[in-house]
Structure 1
Amino acid sequence: MNHPVATPEQHAHELAALDLIEHPTVRAAYRSVAETWLGRARASEAMHRRFAAAYEEVMFSAAVWSSNQDPLRPKVTTITRLAHEVDGRRVPGSRWGIDNPDTVYRVVPISGEERYVLRGRVGAHRMTENYFTLWNDAMGTVDVCDGRRMHVEADGSYEITVDADEAGGRPNHLRSTPEAHELYIRDVLLDWGCDDPNTIEVERLGGPPATAALTLDEQAEATAAMMAHFADFTGKLSHGMYKTPPNHFSLAWTADHTGAMRSQVYVAGRYELAPDEAFVVDVSDGGAEYFTVPLSNIWGTTLDVLDRTGSLNKAQSRPNDDGTYTFVIAGQDPGVHNWIDTGGLPEGILTLRMAEFPEGGARPDLAATGRVVPLDRICELGLPMVTRSERAAQLAERRAGYLRRLPEVTA
């Protein structure tokens, strides 16, 4: 069977995107967008050092995404992957927009005038959070199918229909509108070692496409435009974060616009630390079955999540005796289990996401607060600790779990 993410279609699309980014129009956009973004960002020296690697990912993500925008010829493509190889060629990462490291993000172009069916199979270990979101061109929600609760046949197979008609007895139906633009699919892996992404294929129903596909030159123009959009979107997002004071959480919201999920609660802030300091975050999840605590830079890519603990979710964390969770954000290992590793970045963005609350919503104890603590005082907090060998085992388990969705990386 094909891997649910590393499909032949995905690989062919990534290789085509590698060729696309060599087009003169796209190369010119690489230069101009970088100049504009750096000129606006007012980034620190530490952030400047992260720009080149992050920029490569954000721009490649724009190439991957923009080249699957034809609703008459839809494909299922995965974005926000880490770097890997396909047919001996290096494929850059494609993270952008402060991604969630637990999530396999896939996109499918949709027209409200067309009819589609998605077919696939759920994994043996179903995900805690899984949504098929139909949205407009401003990332506003048109309709949502809850993959965790959708109808699935006994063999694990499923179908989701997408068109402008009412469901009419169809169990998994997304009702589109003239504004429908795209399906944005989130497969959220809480347990990296067990949770399985869905397999997904799409078929447009009806006759042959009424219009021709974009020429290479037209596609290059579309890619250049999306590159500029990605940089502008991320720049505004980071600017909003940096208007808040450092080492303080004051923003919590739910939303169904600009890519946010209406069923999630977001708690965002930023840290700014001296080498001998840690930012300690206390979380009461309000009954959420899922939460994640990831770090990112101002360029919109998360930190090292493969070989460092640049994020931790609920399954990867140890609770306190009272059921709450405490995380220590620091550049040096403080010896606690719930260490979120800054990878040497003394400042950054933290976007805590909580989801899958009990019926009726979050409990009143939902909260997330942060405080700066000297590193040499962390041992006084009474937090779950780890030995060096336990840390090594934690990181080895983390890497093995992540590579289940990135089988191209073998070392």
Structure 2
Amino acid sequence: MPERRPAQLSFVLYGELPGTGAVTKEGAPVLAALTTDRMQIDPDGSFTITVDPEPADGRPNHIRTTDTARLLIARDSLNDWAKEGPSYLEIERTAGPEAPGPRTPEQLATQTADLLRTIGRYWLDWDNTFIYTKAANDIIAPTAPRGSGFGFATSGHFALGAGQALVVTLDPVGARYLGFQLTDLWVSRGSTPTDRAA
């Protein structure tokens, strides 16, 4: 990890690429998750995680995978992008069948186009099912942690009239990381300057 560590580094094992399955409130199936608050990290910031189908049996930082696993995502949560740095990761394959060879540019282009069509439809359906069915200008507090163990999240939509403004007041309530995101109707988003440490 860098000298100024991110507020949290999380590893999430999914049963499918988010946005390629059925539109459900839970989203893509989370098979396992590991976050830095539950990891053994050396004083210099280094760590090793293991990923295989066997139980941990005393191994720290272990993620148990299954035959249905399709994707492992690593996510750095940064509070101060000017001072904190992302984690540096190296991946070493130590066992298992031979890895498939690289795909051709044509194969990559075809797969990317197919994913864009699939994922685009998914997120539009998700918004219409779980966001725009709620009352405008009404954000409900989250009541349960996300399936990945990556904190809490809630969402909503806003409808402002002429001369009105959206004023957002956030209380980090002791959290190490707090984020607020605004998107357009196409869910094009970006973190706002309100991302901060507690």
**TM over 0.5, yes or no?**
yes
Q: Is the 8 A contact 1:127 1:148 kept in 2?
A: no
Q: State the number of aligned residues.
A: 187
Gaps of 5+ in 1: 1-121, 317-411
Q: Quick check: 1:126–1:195 contact (8 Å CA) kept in 2?
A: yes
Alignment match of 2:186 (pick from 290, 299, 307): 299
What is the aligned counterpart of 2:6 among 127, 131, 142?
A: 127
Report the CA distance between 1:200 and its aligned residue. 0.8
2:167 alignment partner in structure 1 = 280
Structure 2 CA distance, aligned partners of 1:179 and 1:229?
A: 20
Of all paired residues, the percent bearing the same amino acid is 27
Q: Conserved in 1, the CA contact under 8 Å of 2:6 and 2:79?
A: yes
Structure 2 letter corresponding to 1:315:
A
Asked if 1 retains the 8 angstrom alpha-carbon contact of 2:181 and 2:189, the reply is yes
Counterpart code for 1:312: T
1:226 aligns with 2:115: yes
Is the deviation greater in 207-216 or in 294-303? 207-216
Q: Tell me if the contact between 2:33 and 2:149 (Cα under 8 Å) persists in the aligned partners.
A: no
Which consecutive unaligned segments of at least 5 residues does structure 2 have?
22-27
Give, as a single letter, the amino acid of the residue that structure 1 aligns with 2:197: A
- Mapping 1:71-90, distance limit 5 Å: none
- Once residues 55 and 165 of structure 2 are traced to their aligned partners in structure 1, the CA distance between those partners, rounded to angstroms, is 53
- Distance in 2 (CA, whole Å) between partners of 1:206 and 1:162 is 11
Q: d(CA) in 2 for partners of 1:213 and 1:140?
A: 27
Higher Cα radius of gyration: 1
Query: What is the Cα-based RMSD across aligned positions, in Å?
Result: 2.6
Bigger mean CA deviation after superposition, 181-190 or 279-288: 279-288
Per-residue CA deviations over 1:193-244 (Å, capped at 9, x if unaligned) read 3222110121222377265443444333322221112211221232232222
What code does the residue aligned with 2:182 have? Answer: L
**Residue 65 (structure 2) pairs with residue 183 (structure 1):** no
- State the secondary structure of the residue aligned to 2:108: helix
Counterpart in the other structure of 2:24: none
Match of residue 136, structure 1, among 4, 12, 15: 15
Q: Equivalent residues in 2 for 1:210-249 (5 A)?
A: 211-239=100-128, 240-249=130-139
Larger RCO of the pair (alpha carbons < 8 Å, separation 6+): 2
Greater strand content: 1
In structure 2, relative to structure 1, the CA distance for the partners of 1:269 and 1:208 (3 Å cut) is: closer
- State the distance in 2 between where 1:250 and 1:215 align: 46
Aligned-partner residue type, residue 152 of structure 2? V
| Deviation per residue, 1:91-131 (Å, 9 max, x gap) | xxxxxxxxxxxxxxxxxxxxxxxxxxxxxxx1112222221
1:290 has 2:177 as partner: yes
Give the match's secondary structure for 1:134.
Answer: strand
What residue number does 1:162 align with? 51
Kindly state the Cα deviation for residue 192 of structure 1 after the two structures are TM-superposed: 2.3
Q: Which residue of 2 aligns with 1:174?
A: 63
Secondary structure of 2:40 counterpart: coil
Distance across 2 between alignment mates of 1:210 and 1:264: 34
* Superposition pairs of residues 356-395 of structure 1, within 5 angstroms: none
CA contact (8 A) 2:35 2:149 kept: no
Q: Is the 8 A contact 1:125 1:196 kept in 2?
A: yes
Partners of 1:238 and 1:286 in 2: CA distance: 28
Q: Which SS does the other structure have where 1:278 is aligned? A: coil
Distance in 2 between the 1:183 and 1:274 partners? 43
Aligned in 2, Cα 1:210/1:124: closer, same or farther, shift over 3 Å? closer
